[in-house]
Amino acid sequence: MIITMNSNATKEDIENVESIIEDFGYTVHPIHGTNLTVLAAVGDERGKAGLYERLSSQKMVDKVEYILPPFKLVCREMRKGMTRPDTLIDVEFEWKEGKRKVTIGGSAFVMMAGPCSVETRDQIFECARIAQENGASFLRGGAFKPRTSPYSFQGLEEEGLKLLAEARHEYGLAVVTELMDAHHLEVVDRYADVIQIGARNMQNFMLLKSLGSTTKPVLLKRGMSSTIEEWLMSAEYIASVGNSNVILCERGIRTFEPKYRNTLDLNAVPTLQKMTHLPIIVDPSHGTGRADLVLSMSLASAASGCNGLILEIHPNPSQAWSDGAQSLDEQSFQDLMKRLTPVVEAIGKTMVADVATSSV
Ligand code: PEP
Ligand code: MN
């Protein structure tokens, strides 16, 4: 249920309504806008009739509405009438030149770039340099890798996280890295600025629930055979445990077409924008599996209206320890950034300024 408070409601009036909701056994998620406060009452509805009538009769309640989609907290309706209808996620971190803040969502377009896996200190520093010099604001890189074969490189684990943190310090890029197991949450949280949940874990509900104990934003990748509704239900799991800073990442789905690794589903971008207030990032690297397709699909992704891209880059893709076939080298990444900027501007978004101009 969405309860819109009267614009004159005081803090006490709001607390009063919150306690009525809690007495019925629901959880309250308040959203304090600049001109009004909206309360979302969510929870198991079994055996709890009467709340609607009780709330509707409160003097300081303007209106009470049922939330129809099953993903209550992340649905677009949740922000109806608010002055800021889209979720904006501020990522703040420190590097050698001070503090930096990068915002994801709204009219900002962010670039996340880096290798599939952190391999060596030289490799991650070189990737960070390429990313930074060409206008990315996030460094990606896996330290815990979900590999199809148990014999493939599994990641450097904490050592890899430390290298990412060193590269952040040197180059002023926020770190995005994958969490595969709730047991690693504490260590990943210590080094990451944004925690990635990979496609294979999109429906690992215990892992999703563990994210309630971090305040770090979560990049939730779409499961390789997941519907949009299933994906939003996974985002709802994370929001329901108190972490509403979720970024959705379209990374391609499995189809019958073997010419590429996945089929990048760009229909998802405008579809999601109608359904949710969360920001959307596209991953054309995993979405195609082919470096030669990444440029075209990056331009198409930007044109579809997403809030940014996550791309795999490598100083020497043929030598990469994972996903070399879809990784861009320095020259290709530079060319891509030049071609991408006018498309981003054409759809009314602004490429997030590079590190030299956006430190605070
Ligand atoms: C990755 O980002 O390297 C990765 C493993 O992605 P996905 O979970 O989308 O396959
Ligand atoms: Mn990869």
Across the chain, how many H-helices and E-strands are there?
12, 15
For residue 258, how many C-alpha atoms fall within 13 Å in the half-sphere facing its CB? 0
Q: Does the CB atom of residue 314 touch ligand 1 within 6 A?
A: no
Distance 289 CA to ligand 2 centre (A): 9
Q: Which ligand is nearest to the CA of 223?
A: 1
- Rounded distance, CA 176 to CA 138, Å? 7
Q: Which ligand is nearest to the CA of 202?
A: 1
Provide the terminal-to-terminal Cα distance of the chain, rounded to the nearest Å.
40
Residue-by-residue pLDDT tens, the chain, 360 positions = 999 999 899 999 999 999 999 999 999 999 888 778 999 999 887 777 889 999 999 999 999 999 989 999 999 998 887 888 899 999 999 999 999 999 999 999 999 999 999 999 999 999 999 999 999 999 999 999 999 999 999 999 999 999 999 999 999 999 999 999 999 999 999 999 999 999 999 999 999 999 999 999 999 999 999 999 999 999 999 999 999 999 999 999 999 999 999 999 999 999 999 999 999 999 999 999 999 999 999 999 999 999 999 999 999 999 999 999 999 999 999 999 999 999 999 999 999 976 655 555
Distance 178 CA to ligand 2 centre (A): 11
Q: Does the CB atom of residue 308 touch ligand 1 within 6 A?
A: no
pTM confidence score: 0.95
Atom number in ligand 1 closest to CA 145? 5
To test the pocket of ligand 1, the residue of 231, 283, 309, 313 to mutate (highest count of ligand atoms within 8 Å of its CB) is: 283
Both structure tokens of 231: 């994906």
The CB density around residue 190, as the number of other CB atoms within 10 Å, is: 11
Tell me if residue 106 falls in helix, strand or coil: coil
Phi, psi of 49 (to 5 degrees): -70, 155
For 49, which DSSP code?
Answer: T
- Rounded distance, CA 201 to CA 322, Å? 19
Per the CB < 8 A criterion, the answer to whether 143 and 166 are in contact is: no
Tell me which residue of 245, 194, 189 sits closest to 214, measured CA to CA: 189
Per the CB < 8 A criterion, the answer to whether 167 and 125 are in contact is: yes
